[in-house]
Amino acid sequence: MRTAVVVTLIAVVAAFVDSAKVLFMPSTLYPMHGYTMKYLADELARRNHDITWLEYGPVQSKTTLSKAVKRVYWPVKFDQQIFSDIFVHRNHSVHDQLWDPYFEYPNEQTTAWLASVRLCDRLLSRSKAKFDELVKERFDTVIVDDLYNPCGLLQVALKGSVYIYWSMTALRTESAWANQSPSPPSYLPALHDFVEAATNEEGFVLITSGFTAQWNKAPKRILASL
């Protein structure tokens, strides 16, 4: 249902041009993220739109995409072995414990966010030129995964362009952040902020520019460190 709604929204935008240029930025820590987004990418490519699929991380995902989708991969390694054990080799002791029905993994979201921030930091330290070039490249819309994807969210904020916020949590925006972060910063966008800063594009409303508005409220020390 969600895929059909997003396809319809993009189709309205694309009605005014021959082909829409769309950037997909899924999180790569867990395979399911890219898997859920691939169907929309393939469908838009089938409709002759210009689709770019960007991943960054220690290994490229095995997500299969239409040959019409331009696939880009930026390799970046973890700086700590424990993250490689958990998210790459999957041989950490926690994986054996997952089969125990009484096992609880209270730090899963915290660990994943920390790992994704480390990846983003290393990407910007080693491949900032590529990142900056992508910021300059114009897309009709960006479809960004909201979970464990700080470089994707940063890319959207710096572009200041129309984007579609792909939430893996199926919760309201502020609830999603609260549940997936140990201590969500106050400058993360709440639902009403998105609505107030919504962008009206050709007769319909997309909740798009709120993140940029809220990002500008972030502490300068955090922005300076990125």
Q: Any residues with CB less than 8 A from the CB of 57 and at least 6 apart, and which?
A: 28, 29, 75, 76, 119
Domain ranges within the chain, ordered by starting residue = 2-225
Neighbours of 193 (CB within 10 A): 19
What's the pTM value of the predicted model, to 2 decimals?
A: 0.65
Which of 11-15, 73-77, 220-224 has the weakest average pLDDT? 11-15
Choose between 219 and 78: higher pLDDT: 78
CATH topology for the 2-225 domain: Rossmann fold (3.40.50)
Q: For 21-74, how does the pLDDT look when each residue is reduced to its tens digit (9 = 90+)?
A: 999 999 888 877 788 889 989 999 999 999 999 999 999 998 999 999 999 999
